[in-house]
Amino acid sequence: MSETPAIFTQNLGRVYKLRGPKKKGDPKTIVALTDINLTVARGELFGLLGPNGAGKTTLIKILTTLLLPTTGTARVLGWDVVHQAQEIRRRISMVSGGETSGYGLLTVEENLWMFARFYGLDSTIARQRIGEMLEVVGLADRRRSKISDLSTGLRQKMNFIRGFITDPDVVFLDEPTLGLDVTAARQVREFVREWMQAHPDRTVLLTTHYMAEADELCDRLAIIDKGRLLALDTPTHLKQRLRREAVFTLRVAPLGRRPLRREDMLEAVPGVRQVTVAEQDGATEIKLILDSEDALAGVLDHIHRRGSGLIALEKREPTLEDVFIDLVGRGLDVDTSVRAEEGD
Amino acid sequence: MATERVAKATGVRLFWATMWARAYPRMVGTFRERSWLFFETLLPVLAVSGYVFIYRAIQAPPAYTGFAVLGGAMTAFWLNVLWSMASQLYWDKDQGNLEIYVLAPGPLMAVLLGMAVGGMVMTGTRAAAILVICSWLFDVSYQVAQPLWLVAAFVLTMAALYGMGMLFASVFLVSGREAWHLSNLLQEPIYLVSGFYFPVKALGFWVATFASIIPLTLGLDAMRQLIFAGDSGLGFLPVPVELAVQLVLAVVFITAAYFALAKLEQIGREQGRLIERRR
C-alpha cells in the first residue's frame, strides 16, 4: 500500500457544458483539462504552476472529489475519485486562497472546532490541536474573536490551518497565499515547509501562479496552461532546460508602439526564442531568451533602429519564469481563459 | 517514516459529531445576534395583532384570538425552514462552506440534520417569545386537556416540517438563485393555505387536503384542537388522524431527502454545480 502514489492521473480531462442563453455560434462547451498524466509520490510537495484559467483549480476539484472528470482516471492514495470518494475524503483536506468559509457569528476557535468535528476529531483533541496551530501561525490572541471581525488576511490564515488540523494524508492548497501580504505569505510558506518536515509521509499539492513560491517550496513542479501539462520536473531541472540558452534582461528607453508587421518585431530578430516586454517606470523592460549570446547584437541593433537606446543589460541565470515563458510564449501575469471549443 | 496519526471517528459517531457541530452555530446564534428580538418577534406580533383586531371587530369567538396567536408563533418555524433550511446550501455555496461540507467525511445528511436541530432550537426561542408577548397582550387563555398529545403533535410537526426543509435543501443543492426565488414564492401563499391565522377548515375540504402536504397545516390544526379544547369543532380532521399523517409525512420527507441528497450530489459533481461560485 505504501508504494501507492499519493496522486495518480491518466489521460484526465474535463469539459464543462455552458449553461444559460447562448447566441448562435457561441461555444457550447469549455475544455478545462486535456490528457493530464501525473504521478505524485507520497511525501512530495508538488506544485502546479500556471496562469489564471490554466485548469489548476479544476484539477484540484477533481482530485478532491468535488468534480467528476469527463475522461480518464484519477486516484488519490490509490482510491478512485469517481467511485471511492468517501475513502478519499477521510484522508485529505483542501484550502483555497481567498476563501470566505466559516460563520461570522462564531469565533476563530469555534469555526475550526466545527470543521474538525466534521472529520470526526474528538472534541478535546480538536481544541488542543486548534490551540497549538493558532500559536504557530500567530493567531492565538484572536482565538476568541468572531471571524466577522477579522481582516481578510487573518481569516485566510484561519482557513489555512483548517486544512491541517484534521491530520490529512494529502493536503490540497489552491493558491494559499493569494491576497496575503508579504509577511503573512512567508509565514504560510514556512508553515507548509515545517509541516512537511515534521510529517515526511504526507503529501501537499499546491497550485500557485507565484513563481518564487513554486521555486522555493516544491520538490517537483508541473507547468500547466490552457488545460494541458507542458512540463513536469524539479525546479532545478526545469531551469536547466534553459542553461544552453542565453537569458537576458534589458532595460531600454521606451520602445513605443508595437510594430504592425511581424518582420519588424523583436521576435523576428534571428536567434530570439522568446520575448516579453513590459513598460516600467518610464522605460521598457525586455526579457529575452536567445539561442546563444551571438543573437544579442541583432537585438541591440533592432532596438536602435526603433529609436530607443540601451539603459542596462543583465545576463541572468534562468528562472522558472523564463522556463514558463519559453514553454508558453508569454509571462505568468497574463490571464488566460480555458480553451473554448464547439461541442454538442 | 510514518508519523503519529490523530484518531478520527467513523460511522454513527462521525454522524453524531457532524450533526451537533453543524447545529452549534445556530444554537449559539440564538444568543449572539440579538437583533432577532426586533425583526423576528416584533414583526410577527404586529401581524398577529392585525388578525386579533379584525376578529374582535367582527365579534368572532374568543378562541380565534388564540388561533391567530398560535399561528403567528408557528410562522417563525416556516420562515426558518424556508430561509435557513431550503435556501441554506445556496448561501453556503456562495460562502464557500458547501465545498467543505461535501469534502468532509461527515455525511451531508448529518449536516442537514444539524441545520434542522439547530434551527428548531433557535426558532423555538423566537416562537416562544411571540407566544408569550401575544398571549400577554391579548389575554389569551389556554386549556390543554391532553398535554402528551400536544407534545406529540408538536414533535411530529417539527419532524415533518424540518424533514421537508431537508428535502428542499437537497433539491436546492444544485440550484442557483432560483432557490431564493422559490423560497420567496412559497412564503406568503403558505400563510394563507395552511391557515396560519384561521382554522384551515374554513378553506373547504379540498384546499385543506391539498395544503396538508405542508406539515404546519395539520400540525397547527391538531395543536389548536388540543390547546383550545372547547372549540374542537373547528378542527379539520380528528387529532389522531392528523398525527398519523404527520408521521407519514416525516418519514417520507426525511427518506426522500436522503435519496435526493445522494442523487443531487452526484449531479452536482457531474455538472460542476458544487463549485460554480469560483468558476
Mean pLDDT by groups of 10 residues along chain B of 279 residues: 80 96 90 77 89 92 89 90 85 87 93 92 90 92 88 95 91 73 82 89 92 94 86 81 96 94 88 66
In order of A74, B9, B65, the CA distances from B103 in angstroms are 16, 16, 49
Task: Give the lowest-confidence range in A103-117, A154-168, A277-291, B125-139.
Answer: A277-291
- Asked if the ipTM is above 0.85, the reply is yes
**A251-269: average pLDDT:** 81
Model pLDDT, residue A280: 80
For residue A97, give how far its alpha carbon lies from the nearest alpha carbon of chain B (Å): 11
- Answer yes or no: is A292 within a domain: yes
Q: Are residues A121 and A67 in the same domain?
A: yes
- Cβ distance A66 to B13 less than 8 Å, yes or no, reads no
pLDDT at A338 over 60: no
Residue A164's H or E segment, with its range, is helix A152-165
pLDDT at A187 over 90: no
In order of A252, A283, A323, the CA distances from A280 in angstroms are 10, 5, 22
Q: Are residues A214 and A273 in the same domain?
A: no
Q: How many residues does chain B have?
A: 279
- Answer yes or no: is A113 within a domain: yes
- Answer yes or no: is A1 within a domain: no
By C-alpha distance, the chain A residue nearest B31 is A105
Best probe of the B interface among A19, A31, A67, A87, by most B CBs < 10 A, is A67
Stated pTM of the model = 0.84
Q: Are residues A68 and A195 in the same domain?
A: yes
Model pLDDT, residue B92: 86
- Answer yes or no: is A110 within a domain: yes
Domain boundary among A183, A218, A239: A239
- Answer yes or no: is A269 within a domain: yes
Do A130 and B6 meet the contact criterion of CB atoms below 8 Å apart?
no
Model pLDDT, residue A88: 96
Q: Are residues A122 and A234 in the same domain?
A: yes
Tally of domains within chain A: 2
Model pLDDT, residue A156: 87
Which amino acid, residue B107?
P
- Answer yes or no: is A324 within a domain: no
Domain boundary among A215, A239, A263: A239
Domain boundary among A200, A216, A239: A239
Q: What CATH number should be reported for the domain holding residue A259?
A: 3.30.70.1340
A99 lies in which domain range? 7-239
Q: Which residues pair with A288 in a beta bridge?
A: A248, A275
Write out pLDDT tens, residues A127-151: 999 999 999 888 899 999 999 898 8
Task: State the CB neighbour count (10 A cutoff) for residue B68.
Answer: 26
Cα(A40)–Cα(A55) distance, integer angstroms = 18
A vs B: CB pairs below 8 A? 121
Q: What CATH number should be reported for the domain holding residue A103?
A: 3.40.50.300
Three-class HEC string of chain B? CCCCCCCECCHHHHHHHHHHHHHHHHHHHHHHCCCHHHHHHHHHHHHHHHHHHHHHHCCCCCHHHHHHHHHHHHHHHHHHHHHHHHCHHHHHHHHCHHHHHHHCCCCHHHHHHHHHHHHHHHHHHHHHHHHHHHHHHHCCCCECCCHHHHHHHHHHHHHHHHHHHHHHHHHHHHCCCHHHHHHHHHHHHHHHHCCCCCCHHHHCHHHHHHHCCCHHHHHHHHHHHHHEHHHHHHCCCCHHHHHHHHHHHHHHHHHHHHHHHHHHHHHHHHHCCCCHHHC
Cα(A17)–Cα(A27) distance, integer angstroms = 9
Model pLDDT, residue A342: 34
- Answer yes or no: is A89 within a domain: yes
Q: Are residues A182 and A96 in the same domain?
A: yes
